[in-house]
A and B are shown apart, each in its own frame.
Chain A
Amino acid sequence: MKRRTLLASGAGAALAASLGLPLRAQDGPLKVGFIYVGPVGDGGWTFQHDQARQAVEAHFGDAVETIYQESVPEGADAERAITQMVLQGCKLIFTTSFGYMDATVNVAAQFPDVKFEHATGYKTAPNLATYDARFYEGRAVIGTIAGRMTKSNKIGYIGSFPIPEVIQGINSSFIHARKVNPDVEMVVAWAYTWFDPAKEADAAKAMIEQGVDVVMQHTDSTAPQAAAAEAGNVFTFGQASDMAAFKPTPRISSIIDNWAPYYIKRVQAVLDGTWESSRFWGGIGDGEVLIGDITEAVPAEVKAEAEALRDAIGSGAYHPFTGPLSKQDGSVWLAEGEVATDEVLSGMNFYVEGIVGDIPS
């Protein structure tokens, strides 16, 4: 019985369903939707996106209304979640994880008058823009601090997945650690997760046992910080959010994702009717990547050196991938003074010279 009514009513709505759904009338505030991959309280990636959403609400007041859905799995469920946001009347939707790419593309094709913004992806459409942050700029700064602070000359890096964004970060931090400390070695461990406190803690502990005394992470939980605090004499950096609870040690600085300027800019563009599809890749200079407070555990001259590098990158005077640089196999990648193109960076699948080990494939 139930099944038959479901089918009958479904068939009745058949044609209407693809496009003719009742969309809530657009009077009153602009409705902006956010799809999150984790819970808003994850203290990292999703937390920072939600901070930016709140910044949008604070900035625009009554002109904008925001809604969000948290812990949306990347895959079959994402498309429905995004579609439901459109049906709820959202005219601008931010999908904040790479795994939402195809789902966002599909929904964007169905609703041409709704604007979509997909984080860290590479597919665009007239109503679908992408945005990303140049995390590697921040990695250069903390890589410098790491190279100065290590006593064992072993730096650990907890990678999430071997994708270009993460490999950029590994290369950038290694290049700059070695620049200030030629004896530095890098130990990379892959956690195959963005957020799993247990796995991240295991990876950190295994590294510390191998003699690593500075741990960097491209995963979002504070578990590596806690593991370092337990071990003592190990330094870490906050990832995605400031992770200030672990100040002054083990957390000696941090890379903060600050999405608020971009979100406010894009919401303003929709309000003004000037929104256009684009690929935005903002860094320190755009205020999208921030370096968190460098604590007193870091000597003043190292702090000054790191801040000078931060400002040089922010002003555009220096690019973290400036030649001469060689690939891991010794072949020349960038000649003296040559700067890596965004195209190469966004497909980066190799280590630079000096890093030991292979990228899993």
Chain B
Amino acid sequence: MIRLEKRAQPSRGWTIATPIIAVVATMIAGGLMFAALGKDPVEAIRTIFWDPLFGPFASYARPQLLVKAGPLILIAIGLSFGFKAGIWNIGAEGQYIMGALTGAATALAFYPAEWWIIFPLAILAGAVGGFLWAMIPAVLKVRFGTNEILVSLMLVYVAQSLLAAAALGWLRNPEGMGFPGSRNLAQWAATANPELIAGTGMHWGVVMAFLSVIVAYVILSRHMLGFSIRVTGQSPRAAAFAGVNPGRLVIVCMGVSGALAGMAGLFEVTGPAGQISIDFNVGYGFTAIIVAFLGRLHPVGILLAGLLMALTYIGGEMAQLSLGLPAAAIQLFQGMLLFFLLAVDVLTNYRIRAARREVA
């Protein structure tokens, strides 16, 4: 018999080793799958992990990693605040949509002015939009004790309907010949969120993502708020004795994640996406939940996890193109990576013991 024994302290060595083991295990299992699909497994793995960083087209793919990782990191950092304290905001996708909508609507109200103030104003409006959308589940939880998981998740679908209504109706491009979709914000100088240095992929959203990592690190490790969050997550009762106001903590954590998700939406709609369209959201808000846990709710971990997720996306696309792998196989491969990471994670907190037979 094998049994698991809880460690008194999470193992430091395993904390570092488990992601590497998980990646290796994914490569082996994924390689077997690719072989079963009739592709060269070594070439497939190399295409996914190596080519985006060092392959012949890496000068294009590397900046794209940042473009893809930026919103994931920004949203995941916000989510990690609440997740650490046991406050489950599952609706970041909705807050992301609302931030893009309010930000784009605010900016377009000034069209075609070219004032520099419009972009900062749009960022602010995006953050407020995401914040207010997150306040709905937060206030309902504090006032009426509703379940924030359900409410925030359901509000994603409401936000999607609002998005469709905006793209078809009140934000539709008057010069778009009746087709759905807003004006292109990336092509309007006042709101454009382009690469800051050509060829780096760094736009304001990526800058904000890196800033959020630093700020979150400081707050979570040095600030009273970080202490309140940690204590609440470990023991709500102890937190109450320590003077933490649980209602206020819910508002703060939901608010932070909502505002960051809203900003991510704004940076996306003014940059890579360019316009409000019916299919504007592509699941960053949900993927960010995975990124947050993959990064162990630690800011630096989230940074690395976001980049790793981006790598599997970009590498996966390359593998689709150059090897003809089906999209579903790439998704399976990503799923394997998460599965192994979480499975091997057990070793951080538990040790494996061969149980001795005991005399009854």
A and B part of one assembly: yes
Distance (whole angstroms) from the CB of A32 to the closest CB of chain B: 12
Given contacts A3-B210, A69-B320, contact A164 B278 (CB under 8 A): no
Classify chain A: how many residues form its interface, as a range: 35 or more
Residue of B nearest to A122 (CB): B177
B177 x A87 contact (CB < 8 A) = no
Kindly state whether residue A85 has any CB partner on chain B within 8 Å.
Answer: yes
The residues of A that contact B210 with a CB separation of less than 8 Å are 3
Kindly state whether residue B255 has any CB partner on chain A within 8 Å.
Answer: no
Classify chain B: how many residues form its interface, as a range: 35 or more
Kindly state whether residue B122 has any CB partner on chain A within 8 Å.
Answer: no
* Surface stretch bound by A, among B89-97, B135-143, B194-202, B232-240: B194-202
Q: Can you list 24 A-B contacts (CB < 8 A)?
A: A10-B62, A10-B202, A11-B199, A14-B198, A15-B198, A16-B199, A17-B199, A39-B326, A39-B328, A69-B317, A70-B326, A74-B277, A83-B60, A98-B179, A99-B277, A102-B184, A102-B274, A122-B179, A161-B168, A163-B178, A163-B180, A192-B278, A347-B178, A360-B169
CA distance A48 to B333 in the complex (A): 27
A67 x B321 contact (CB < 8 A) = yes
Given contacts A85-B321, A88-B322, contact A13 B59 (CB under 8 A): yes
Kindly state whether residue B309 has any CB partner on chain A within 8 Å.
Answer: no
The residues of A that contact B201 with a CB separation of less than 8 Å are 10
Kindly state whether residue A80 has any CB partner on chain B within 8 Å.
Answer: yes
B62 x A6 contact (CB < 8 A) = yes
Interface residues of B in 273-305 (CB under 8 A from A): 273-275, 277-280, 282, 303-304
B178 x A348 contact (CB < 8 A) = yes
Residue of A nearest to B57 (CB): A87
Residue of A nearest to B313 (CB): A77
Given contacts A11-B200, A102-B184, contact A346 B168 (CB under 8 A): no
Distance (whole angstroms) from the CB of A290 to the closest CB of chain B: 26
Given contacts A17-B60, A21-B59, A39-B328, contact A164 B198 (CB under 8 A): no
B198 x A75 contact (CB < 8 A) = no
The residues of A that contact B164 with a CB separation of less than 8 Å are 192
The residues of B that contact A346 with a CB separation of less than 8 Å are 177
C-beta contact mask, A335-360 vs B, less than 8 Å → 1, else 0?
Answer: 00000000000111100000000001
C-beta contact mask, B308-332 vs A, less than 8 Å → 1, else 0?
Answer: 0000001001101110101110000
The one of B65, B197, B272, B321 in contact with A84, judged by C-beta atoms closer than 8 angstroms, is: B321
CA distance A4 to B326 in the complex (A): 33
Kindly state whether residue A332 has any CB partner on chain B within 8 Å.
Answer: no
Interface residues of A in 94-142 (CB under 8 A from B): 98-99, 102, 122
The one of B59, B65, B168, B307 in contact with A162, judged by C-beta atoms closer than 8 angstroms, is: B168
Kindly state whether residue B79 has any CB partner on chain A within 8 Å.
Answer: no
List A residues at the B interface (Cβ < 8 Å). Answer: 2-3, 6-7, 9-11, 13-18, 21-22, 33, 39-40, 67, 69-71, 73-77, 79-81, 83-85, 87-88, 98-99, 102, 122, 161-164, 192, 346-349, 360-361
Kindly state whether residue B253 has any CB partner on chain A within 8 Å.
Answer: no
Interface residues of B in 52-78 (CB under 8 A from A): 56-57, 59-67
Residue of A nearest to B160 (CB): A192
Given contacts A74-B279, A161-B180, contact A14 B197 (CB under 8 A): yes
The residues of B that contact A9 with a CB separation of less than 8 Å are 62
Kindly state whether residue B345 has any CB partner on chain A within 8 Å.
Answer: no
Distance (whole angstroms) from the CB of A27 to the closest CB of chain B: 16
Kindly state whether residue B148 has any CB partner on chain A within 8 Å.
Answer: no
The residues of A that contact B65 with a CB separation of less than 8 Å are 6
Among A9, A75, A87, chain B packs the most CB atoms within 10 A around the CB of A75
The one of B63, B165, B318, B321 in contact with A17, judged by C-beta atoms closer than 8 angstroms, is: B63
The residues of A that contact B177 with a CB separation of less than 8 Å are 122, 164, 346-347
Interchain residue pairs A-B with the least CB separation, the first 5: A17-B199, A76-B272, A14-B199, A13-B59, A10-B200
The residues of B that contact A79 with a CB separation of less than 8 Å are 272
